[in-house]
Amino acid sequence: MPKLAANLTMLFNEVGFLDRFEAAARAGFRGVEFLFPYAFHADQIADRLNRFQLDLVLHNLPAGKWDAGERGIACHPDRVGEFQDGVGEAIKYAKVLGVRQLNCLVGILPQNVRREQANETLVENLRFAANALAGEQIDLLIEPINTFDIPGFFLSRTQQAIDLIGQVNAPNLYVQYDIYHMQRMEGEIANTIKANLPKIRHVQLADNPGRNEPGTGEINYRYLFGLLDEIGYQGWIGCEYKPRTTTEEGLGWRAAHGV
């Protein structure tokens, strides 16, 4: 049976962030993930994880000026120093929080930067990050994101992520495969997961259209959950969707899908 992790950036947002850990545990989740921990002291989050016996599955490296619309800086040639500092900050949090994988949002292609230059910068930044994380036995993930929701996002297809992994050539670099994003960009979800399973370390879900709960759109999640079990996927599945109403009211999808 799939291991489901509640994404606390999107779920249980009826309460404050630090209260979402208790809400997730009460709802039966044993794992959580979120975008960023950096607005809080690491000990505050560690206390919630310990108190409610939750595993922190994942969080992201710092991603630039998020509130100003930035979605990562790893492909920005003029932000390499800031990126490297962010890797160090993420490792500090990961060591306190016990997280074993960190995701890198690669960013939107900057204006007046050629794709080739952005790719070269990204490869070097990923090498730096993967090497730094390897020293702490932490995996680095990269996530293709659809360009309907985030126009200009540099990494938008599965094969592009696989190609990047080949260019970086780091043994701890993997794909974070978001079913919602890749349904919008590619389709062929089942075959893509099967073909690339050795390089997929984390999966996220939401239905399409709307990015709501499974069962609200076109994606056959009952089939996909069975497939992931069948092919031996061992990782977590992050529930990164927008509840149609409240989180609690929408959680019936789990029983309806046998998870």
Give me the active site residues, please: 143, 240
Quote the CA–CA distance of 26 and 34 in Å, as a whole number. Answer: 18
- C-alpha to C-alpha distance for 63 and 258, rounded to whole angstroms: 35
- Gap between the Cα atoms of 62 and 105, Å rounded: 8
Neighbours of 12 (CB within 10 A): 25
**Dmax (CA) of the chain:** 49
Instruction: Tell me if 175 sits within 8 A of 143, measured CB to CB.
Output: yes
Burial class of residue 54 in the structure, from the number of CB atoms within 10 Å of its CB (0-12 exposed, 13-18 middle, 19+ buried): buried
Distance from C-alpha of 31 to C-alpha of 54, rounded to nearest angstrom: 5
